[in-house]
Structure 1
Amino acid sequence: MRSVKIKPGLYPPNDWTKIIRAWTVGLAFYGKDNIFYQIDHKATNGPIKYVVLSMTFVWNFVDLFVVLVSMGLSTKFSQLYRYISDSIRHRAPTSEHCWEYIRITYVSLCEVVETTNQSIGQLVFVSYATNIYFICLQIMYATQRQPFMINKIYFIYSFLFLIFRASLMFWHSTQVQYWSQQPCLLILQLPNEEYCEEAQRMQIYSKRGANLTGIGLFVVSRDILLTIAGTTVTYELVLLTYWNRSQDAFTNKTITLIVILGLIMCYIEYERLERIGVNAKNIIGIIFYLDTVIITILMINFSRKWHSVATQWQYVESVFRCYADHRKQSNLKSMIRNVSSVLIGCGILEHFISKLSLVYLQYQEANFCHWDVHDFPRYFASRNYSFIFKYIPYNILVLVFMEYANAALTMAWTCQDLMIILISQGLAHYFQIIYDQVRLFNNGIMITSEQFWIDIRYQYKLVCSLVDAANDLLAPLIITSCGTNLYLICFQLLYITEKSEDTITLINHWYALVYLVLKMTLVLYSAAMINETSRAPLNICTKVPNAGWCLELDRFINQLRTEQVALSGMGFFYLTKRTMLGMAGTVVTYELVMLKFAEDTEGIGDVAPCSKLAFSKDM
């Protein structure tokens, strides 16, 4: 027996005691049938509920205990740090006896940390392991389709609370090592006349610092946060594979994993830029990962909400099927296949050329720096993904997955634009069918009945309603598409204006620029054709003679003149032919701004040859 289900209307209103008793039995048996098949639930339901509740709060108490202990230890080290800092800042003379007192105090604090770590090391290990596992579990549950809204709210809240609690525990536990090592930096500022043997000993002790550990298996430090992020991604992939092996479910969860990986890459790029500085070129890394992650999330949201639009589209298709020209219908299918094949093929080729250029540059780097590279894939992995392979052993499968994730994020740009193009072509096709019916009266002589204009206006309203429904889903993608294409065109123009010594690099930037211009032109033109074909019947309708004039025709003409039928970027702008000219002017303006930014940041963020930062995303 798993649960007791109560059907509405099964009991009379005066029999509520039976309902309450049935629910009590159902709740007792739910998840505990292995217990209540052996003993009576009436006597043990309350105690077992209490035990389960207490065991649930153990997770919170463990993290809270580690946080409070870490706060106490780090506070003592920070107080000692401020005492040293105040002495140096106020130029107070620090004798050898003073440094001896500071060193003894520091060593005592380190001994307290060591003693504390022996007592709570197991709890630190359990806390870290539990939080990593449950973060992976909640990510998996959050991506599942939930039957009720309350389930979805529960999993989202549980995940956010878990992230908050784990972040709090991670941060405070790493503060112990951070503050224990800070005195070393202050001692370096001591003038020579005050630097003594005791200060030197204090410098040696504080350079090593004190830290908590997970039963000696790992040291709790800020460096471990990236390791935890990488471990979470790896465990999430294993957990998702184990949980559901069906192809569709695995695809959805792989996309989620790629999004998480993209966010981690954003953080890594941010840290790198913080170390070396920002210029007009190296900012492309963080923009790439942030933009593609946003696009991927928007595409996932689009796919989840597409069903309602597809149902409406299917109804419109059934209405227009009898009016459509089969030859034009076949041409539309061929055009959709050709556009999709060309854009996806060009996108894959653009990514391949970009990777080929990167491999060539890194090969040239190895020759220039006289680095002996026997295993180039291993060298390529260490230079591009050192933030992963400095924590885990090199594995060709991990490298392949990272390259797949990078390619998937890159193709998000193409898929986003392709989605806008194909939907625009489909919508414009329906307006073209309406125009073909009205075009028969272009000579201004033929007249028709009022019923014809009733049918035409009904068809027009159907397509307009479909445009509005599609635009509600496409609007965020239209904004990201226009913004991304504008920036990337300006970025490629910035590179092309500079002299390049490598032919492969020059080919890469020129091909990328031509591909971007072609893709953006297709997006704007396809979307603009919705507006053009929707207004095309207006010129013909005004030629209808007085004998054929009727109320429905008059209403149709007013609708054509007053209604704005076009895709928009959330109402900020509409995609018409005028927008294409506006975009061309915007490219010129933004390119001038980017050139000025490149001039102002010249020399900032440039990395010396043969540096570890030259091509890698980590130190």
Structure 2
Amino acid sequence: FHLPIFAVLIIAQIFALMPVRGISSKYAEDLNFRWFSLRTCYALVVSILFGVNSCFMAAFIMRVTFDFDSVETFVFYCSIFFISAAFFQLARKWPAVLLEWQAVESKLPKLRSEAERAKLAYQIRMIIMIAIGCSAAEHLLSMLSSIYYVNACPVMPNQPIDSYLFLNFSMFFYFVDYTAFYGIIGKIINVLATFAWSFNDIFVMAVSVSLASRFRQLNDSMLREARLPTSVDYWIQSRINFRNLCKLCTVVDDAISLITLLCFSNNLYFICGKILKSLQKKPSASHTAYFWFSLAYLLARTLILSLFSASVNDESKRPLVIFQLVPRRYWSAELKRFSEEVHMDQVALTGMKFFRLTRSVVISVAGTIVTYELILLQFNKADKVNDCYEH
């Protein structure tokens, strides 16, 4: 797992998350967290900037205007600050988690081919490429929609770059005089926050896919042996491996459950907000393209995240199907015990134990969105076209 997740950790550290040392090593023993390291200082500075920015957003809401758009911006930056803090907490636990993972992984049945060994790394790379690509496209469309206001109603005539930088961080510049330096810092914070928001989902997807693949590795081994003459010792060892995987799932969940909760709560909030805004007219084609692409990407990302997370629970229940293939003459008390454990155990990632990530969570999330939308629509104002002064 340490090698397939390497690309995820590299992306994380570019965006000032997960300041763990030794990620390029082949061995989990080389991973460590140090407060006095360059990557930790970088992550800490960015996290503080997220926090300071959230405070300015809160002050703007309380002193200037309290509307849906300003609250949405505040929630976005505030959630990014909490995500950054959550990854700091995870970075301190990550070396121990990877050591546990490595120990459990080493006892599983060996993968039979190079293609099987490379499959997990390929899946994680595809998740990263698609998610980062969509995030980049979304951010470019967001920039195009902002450029509309720069051209239509520039804050600083004949200074399009300064107008754009001011507009990008306008709540901050209500309290602080604009300078090009502050404008550039604001844009950097905006880019880091945008990709950190997407990376939150990428990380949970990658961990979920990896956990599910290890359950699948054990299940495939049992499936090959199910119809063959098997000894009690084989099922004892398989049950031990299954128990170890269940314990590993608990260890991983204890480490990332806060991040998982932030993933789903953020996605739920912004989906509701965007669907509500779908009733509003858009001032330009670039705004329309940005809005619908952003909504489609957010919905798809949330659905895929839910399904990947639920796959851990799906694979943990798959042995029940495999046991049905075992001939009666090879059935034993040990196999019966194994079957009862699989049936009784609730193996799944959670959101701080508030909910378990199973397939039913997809239906629950959809139902929650519909419920909130029906409530929000009652308070929705008439359709309006945003002009310069309302932006």
Q: TM-score, normalised by structure 1?
A: 0.54
CA contact (8 A) 1:471 1:567 kept: yes
Q: Distance in 2 between matches of 1:419 and 1:478?
A: 9
Q: Distance in 2 between matches of 1:499 and 1:384?
A: 21
CA contact (8 A) 1:427 1:467 kept: yes
Aligned twin of 1:394: 179
Secondary structure of residue in 1 paired with 2:62: helix
Tell which structure's C-alpha radius of gyration is larger: 1
Q: Within 5 A, what are the aligned runs for 1:217-366?
A: 249-320=37-108, 322-366=110-154
Q: Distance in 2 between matches of 1:320 and 1:347?
A: 36
Residue identity in the other structure for 1:381: L
Aligned twin of 1:425: 209
Deviations 1:384-418 (A, max 9, x none): 446459756723x4432221111111212111111
Deviations 1:339-375 (A, max 9, x none): 1111112112212211221122232123xxxx77122
Which of these residues, 499, 515, 519, is aligned with residue 301 of structure 2?
519
CA contact (8 A) 1:295 1:477 kept: yes
Q: 1:348 to 1:321 in 2, by over 3 A?
A: farther
Q: Within 5 A, what are the aligned runs for 1:407-422?
A: 407-422=191-206
Please say if 1:573 is aligned against 2:358.
Answer: no
Aligned twin of 1:555: 337
Q: 1:546 to 1:384 in 2, by over 3 A?
A: closer
Shift of 1:323: 4.2
Secondary structure of residue in 2 paired with 1:597: coil
Which of these residues, 245, 264, 269, is aligned with residue 463 of structure 1?
245
Aligned twin of 1:197: none
The percentage of counterpart residues that share the same residue type is 27
Q: Alpha carbon RMSD of aligned pairs, Å? A: 2.7
Q: 1:392 to 1:252 in 2, by over 3 A?
A: farther
Deviations 1:455-512 (A, max 9, x none): 1111111111110110001111111111111111111112222222311001111111
Shift of 1:587: 1.2
Q: 1:260 to 1:596 in 2, by over 3 A?
A: farther
Secondary structure of residue in 1 paired with 2:347: coil
Q: Distance in 2 between matches of 1:547 and 1:609?
A: 77
Q: TM-score, normalised by structure 2?
A: 0.84
Structure 2 residue runs of 5 or longer lacking an equivalent are 1-18, 22-35
Q: Distance in 1 between matches of 2:53 and 2:64?
A: 17
Q: 1:392 to 1:581 in 2, by over 3 A?
A: closer
Residue identity in the other structure for 1:420: V
Secondary structure of residue in 2 paired with 1:282: helix
Q: Distance in 2 between matches of 1:299 and 1:474?
A: 9
Residues matched between the structures, number: 358
Q: Distance in 2 between matches of 1:269 and 1:297?
A: 18
Q: 1:324 to 1:568 in 2, by over 3 A?
A: farther
Aligned twin of 1:377: 161
Aligned twin of 1:588: 370
Q: Distance in 1 between matches of 2:63 and 2:387?
A: 16
Deviations 1:72-121 (A, max 9, x none): xxxxxxxxxxxxxxxxxxxxxxxxxxxxxxxxxxxxxxxxxxxxxxxxxx
CA contact (8 A) 2:272 2:372 kept: yes
Q: Distance in 2 between matches of 1:280 and 1:270?
A: 13
CA contact (8 A) 1:295 1:416 kept: yes
Structure 1 residue runs of 5 or longer lacking an equivalent are 1-142, 146-247
Q: 1:391 to 1:543 in 2, by over 3 A?
A: closer
Q: Distance in 1 between matches of 2:168 and 2:334?
A: 66
Q: Distance in 1 between matches of 2:194 and 2:376?
A: 23
Residue identity in the other structure for 2:262: T
Q: 1:384 to 1:571 in 2, by over 3 A?
A: closer
Shift of 1:590: 1.5
**Structure of higher RCO (CA pairs closer than 8 Å, 6+ residues apart):** 2
Q: Distance in 1 between matches of 2:53 and 2:350?
A: 31
Q: Within 5 A, what are the aligned runs for 1:44-59?
A: none
Q: Within 5 A, what are the aligned runs for 1:10-159?
A: none
